[in-house]
A and B are shown apart, each in its own frame.
Chain A
Amino acid sequence: MEKIKKRRWLLALPLCMATSLAVAGPGKPAPLPEEEIGLERLAPPDGNRLYVTDFVFNHMVDGRIHVVDGKAGRFLGQVVSGYGALTTVSPDGKSIYVATTYYPRLYRGQRSDVVEIHDGETLELKGEIDIPAKKAQAASYRSMLVPSSDGRFLYVQNATPATSVTVVDLQARKFVAEIPTPGCWSIQSWGQGHRFSTICGDGTLLTVTLDEAGQAKSRERSPRFFDPDKDPIYVHPEMLGEDRYFVSYYGNVYKVGLSGDKPSFAAPWSLLDAGDRKQAWRPGGMQVTTLHRASGTLFVNMHDKGEEGSHKNPSKEIWAYDVSSQKRVARIPSNGAISLVASQGADPLLYSLNVEKGEIVARKIAKGYPKLNTVAGIGETSLFMEVR
């Protein structure tokens, strides 16, 4: 303590001298006041808060989520997400969920997988739940870590590589069940009840209904609704009420209704006209679509000269569709984006993420889609965005 006091006194010495000089010299401003260190706390999210998942591929043991004010283009803070994390944010933005892996000696020792709950305003860790060490160390698509619609349970995609879903009780803060989902992938949560569907390699949906304790009560397989050999669909869902929209590698839109007793399937429709097909326009990227719910506008990340293997390519343009008429309503220039997300509410914005630059372009969802701002340097290998 004494040492510290002395040091502070020494620090203060030049300040005193400066002060006397300042006083002595006419026309100089008064010296700066002494300061104390403070700590930021975020306001509740305003509808344009972005959560950008970065798995920092070159050193992926220390992944992170970047929190950004998308409207102002300002960096707000970070959440540590560990190794190969799956991430999501509660609908109200109060909690940020991370399912991740740790080793006690960085890269060795006994693997432990956990679900972490981070506070959306302080960005502090507020809870941790042990889960089986089977969590998929996978790209964090929206359907990999999903809360139930009422927020009671959190569903975690597993892969060993045998696939299953871990059910976590967020109220009791404990692991409650592991549900085998062999040959199926992704978690599509229903709007009602504790039920999820998963997309299977034979083109069907497997729907699992849970009881009040989070245990599987029933399992039901749907008819085949797409052909994984001829027209594979991305597992990223867009949600409009009880409907889920998926696009395929070849530009078809599949609408799946997750309500009632069992899923329902609408006939797929194409994003492409004859001219588009001739130029081989196709969807591409990671988060390939986003949906502005109030206007029913589906945005799709598109590139031309598509070919086998181009399904993760960045976009040349972002195409907008009215989902009710199934017509294209706009073609928007892209910043070479791989992921899209749209905010809802009073100031709806369309965000597009370029992974190489860590660049996010924000455009107004309005006629002409005018550019609002561009922020760069958001992370190293940022792949996914959510907005609250």
Chain B
Amino acid sequence: MDFLKLLDGFTERRTRTVAQNASRRGFLAGVSKLLVAGAFALPVLPFDRTNAHAAGGHGAAKKKAEPTDTDCDYWRYCSVDGFLCSCCGGTMTTCPPGSTPSAVSWVGTCHNPADGRDYLISYNDCCGKTACGRCFCNTNIRERPGYRMGVHNDINWCMANQSSHYHCTVSIVVGLEEGQS
């Protein structure tokens, strides 16, 4: 556990530092090489996106003009594959009570329409409980197969935790994409 905590802290610092100083590709390559970690999303769910913005069916906010943090098309969920922690007792950046943040994660790049910037998003999983089962989303922008592990979402990013059970996924801003300010 201590090791994981250490790794977690290391990862976070590393992620933020690299994200600020290096190119996106370099950053992602770094993620892959270090197999770093930070969080993770779960197996992929290739549901039909045309009707898969179904978060609303699980007690999420009713569809509004602007997507909210419980809608699959909210900007920072551009590459989520799993249950939104916002619908599971957590938030966009916090795990639900009693679950455990994942030690490793994968990273997406999402466009924030509010400020026109592209952000690096760490998709950490929350682990140690069985599947939340609410607000399932599957978006795959810039997702790639497992030979690019740092940007792969067909795998359980709770894999390095003491309990690798997947509960839900958070979406944490870890920096701006290269060239943005």
Contacts and interface: CB of A to CB of B under 8 A. Distances in A.
Interface string B42-73: 11111111010000000000000000000000
Interface in A270-323: 285-286, 308-314
Given A106-B130, A356-B47, A232 B136 contact: no
Interface stretch (B15-23, B31-39, B87-95, B112-120): B31-39
A111 B145 CA distance: 26
A154 to B, nearest CB: 19
Interface string A109-153: 001000000000000000000000000111101000000000000
Contacts of A84: 43, 156, 164
A59 interface: yes
A163 B144 CA distance: 16
B131 A59 contact: yes
Interface in B87-145: 104, 128-131, 133, 136, 138-145
Contact of B130 (A107, A183, A356): A107
B5 to A, nearest CB: 17
A228 B46 contact: no
A164 to B, nearest CB: 12
Interface residues of B, number: 48
B146 interface: yes
Contacts of B133: 58-59
A107 B163 CA distance: 7
Given A59-B130, A138-B154, A139-B154, A186 B43 contact: no
A57 B81 CA distance: 11
Contacts of A286: 44, 46
Contact of A139 (B44, B129, B140): B44
Contact of B155 (A137, A313, A338): A137
B78 interface: yes
A138 B156 contact: yes
Contacts of B160: 160-161
Contact of B140 (A163, A233, A311): A311
Contact of A314 (B35, B48, B146, B155): B48
A159 B159 contact: yes
A302 B136 CA distance: 24
B76 interface: no
B3 interface: no
Interface residues of A, number: 52
Nearest to A284: B46
A204 to B, nearest CB: 10
Contacts of B147: 183-186, 199-201, 228, 235
B154 A201 contact: no
Question: Which of B49, B138, B157, B159: most chain A Cβ within 10 A?
Answer: B159
A175 interface: no
B142 to A, nearest CB: 7
A313 B49 contact: yes
A22 interface: no
B145 A235 contact: yes
Nearest to B132: A58
Interface in A313-336: 313-314, 336
Contacts of A186: 145-147
Given A60-B131, A161-B155, A235-B146, A312 B32 contact: no
B35 A309 contact: no
Nearest to A157: B146
A52 to B, nearest CB: 15
26 contacts: A60-B131, A83-B165, A84-B156, A111-B164, A137-B43, A137-B159, A139-B155, A160-B159, A161-B155, A162-B35, A163-B149, A183-B32, A183-B149, A185-B146, A185-B149, A186-B147, A201-B149, A232-B148, A233-B145, A286-B44, A309-B142, A309-B143, A310-B140, A311-B140, A338-B46, A381-B45
Given A84-B164, A312-B143, 17 more contacts: A59-B131, A59-B133, A84-B156, A136-B159, A137-B158, A138-B155, A139-B43, A159-B155, A162-B35, A163-B146, A199-B147, A201-B32, A201-B148, A234-B145, A309-B79, A313-B46, A338-B46
Nearest 8 interchain pairs by C-beta? A185-B146, A309-B141, A137-B156, A139-B154, A138-B155, A312-B46, A185-B147, A58-B133
